[in-house]
Structure formats: structure tokens, C-alpha cells
């Protein structure tokens, strides 16, 4: 795997959910086929979970439900995403430890910009990674629009 293709609408769902959760972390699942992301499901944010490590608390029940849903819509669970508020879209040591071989890992770095606190602006950077097998290292993927 070298690249990921993501639809504009899915990019919007990703960035909107990151902005809504800010300054907390948000996480979710990405559905699609092979290297193509067709759907994004928000699973929670760290405010709800009262933890900053929400990404690592995706439960087996969540995964079961997502897989059923994917099956119904004719897609597959191909990976996960989470945000890095005020932090680069680069996997942490903990992120790397939790990466499932063959699954895409999308990280959205989000930072607040702009001069007026009452009208926050955000800038986001979306990056994707994969670990092909347990033995292999982490590889950054090229993200392409559709
Ligand atoms: Zn992370």
C-alpha cells in the first residue's frame, strides 16, 4: 500500500469532528475498500471518555458494530483515525504500539489560529500511515483526493 484515496465529503467529516471536539481528541473508524476511504464514523472524544487517550479505548463492541454497519453498506473497516490537538500529525510511540497491521491509521493535526478567541479558526493537516505487518515499520501514505 502506497496511497489512500479520500473523498472530499469524508475530509469534511474528519475536519468538522476534530474542530467540534477541540481541544479534546476525537477518534473514529474509516470504512471503504483497499486504499479508498468511502465513509468515516466518529466513535468518541476524550471529553466524553474523560481521558486524553480516547483512541486507545475503542472497544471490541465498537469494532463489532462498525463491521456490521460496513457489511450492510458494502464496505469494510479499513482503519482508524484520531486527532492531535495542537500537535503534529505524526504517530506517537503509543500510536505506533497500537497500530494494527494492514489497517490504515489517519492522524489529523489540528491547531487553532486566528486572532479572535470568539471566532476561532483552525488549520488541519491530515496524514495517513500503515504498518504492513507486525515485523515492518510504519510507512507514511500519500493522501489523494478523488
Ligand atoms: Zn496519536
Query: What are the structural domain ranges in the chain?
Result: 3-145
95 CA to centre of ligand 1 in angstroms: 5
Quick count: other Cβ atoms within 10 Å of Cβ 130? Answer: 22
Residue in the block written with cell 463491521: 67
Mean pLDDT of 8-35: 94
Position 118 pLDDT exceeds 90 = no
Q: Tens of pLDDT along 37-68?
A: 999 999 887 777 666 566 667 888 889 999 99
CB 62 within 8 A of CB 41: no
How much of the chain, in percent, has pLDDT values that exceed 90? 68
pTM metric for this prediction: 0.91
CB 80 within 8 A of CB 58: yes
79 CA to centre of ligand 1 in angstroms: 14
Which fold is adopted by the domain 3-145?
Cytidine Deaminase; domain 2 (3.40.140)
CB 18 within 8 A of CB 110: yes
Residues less than 5 Å from ion ligand 1, measured at CB: 92, 95
Secondary structure element (H or E) that encloses residue 71, with its range: helix 60-73
What is d(CA 8, CA 92) in angstroms, rounded to the nearest whole number?
27
Position 83 pLDDT exceeds 90 = yes
Kindly state the cell numbers that stand for 65: 458494530
146 CA to centre of ligand 1 in angstroms: 26
127 CA to centre of ligand 1 in angstroms: 11
Amino acid at each position: 500500500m502506497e496511497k489512500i484515496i479520500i473523498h472530499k465529503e469524508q475530509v469534511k467529516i474528519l475536519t468538522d469532528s476534530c474542530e467540534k471536539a477541540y481541544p479534546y481528541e476525537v477518534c473514529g473508524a474509516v470504512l471503504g475498500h483497499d486504499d479508498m476511504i468511502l465513509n468515516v464514523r466518529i466513535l468518541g472524544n476524550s471529553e466524553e471518555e474523560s481521558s486524553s487517550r480516547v483512541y486507545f479505548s475503542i472497544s471490541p463492541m465498537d469494532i463489532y458494530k462498525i463491521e456490521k454497519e460496513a457489511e450492510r453498506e458494502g464496505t469494510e473497516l479499513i482503519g482508524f483515525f484520531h486527532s492531535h490537538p495542537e500537535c503534529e500529525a505524526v504517530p506517537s510511540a503509543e500510536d505506533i504500539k497500537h497500530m494494527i497491521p494492514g489497517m490504515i491509521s489517519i492522524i489529523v493535526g489540528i491547531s487553532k489560529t486566528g486572532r479572535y478567541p470568539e471566532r476561532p479558526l483552525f488549520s488541519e493537516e491530515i496524514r495517513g500511515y500503515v504498518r504492513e505487518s507486525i515485523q515492518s515499520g510504519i510507512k507514511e501514505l500519500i493522501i489523494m483526493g478523488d
